[in-house]
Amino acid sequence: MPERPPVVVYPPLGTGGRRVTARGQLLGLAYSDQDLEFLRGAGLPGVEDLLDDLAWVKWVGNNAHHYTSG
């Protein structure tokens, strides 16, 4: 059974932004792909290359790269 992606980007909140976790730990709230640079601090280099790699990032709800609800 393959492992789950270590990074999960959750659906947009009503106020905007998406919760982001790495291996189950909350890393913060992202309002854009640029905000996901904090993943670099979690030890993931080349974040921009990982955002569309399903082995690394799972986008839950809505479309990937969209940060507002509706």
State residue 8 phi and psi, 5-degree precision. -125, 130
- pLDDT for 47: 72
In this predicted structure, the answer to whether residue 2 has a pLDDT above a threshold of 70 is: no
- pLDDT for 45: 65
Q: Which residue has the higher pLDDT, 2 or 12?
A: 12
pLDDT tens-digit profile of 14-53? 988 999 998 899 989 999 988 887 777 767 666 777 888 8
C-alpha distances in Å from residue 38, one per residue of 10, 48, 57, 66, 67: 16, 11, 14, 17, 16
Pairing of strands 18-22, 25-30: antiparallel
- pLDDT for 1: 45
Average pLDDT of the residues in 3-14: 89
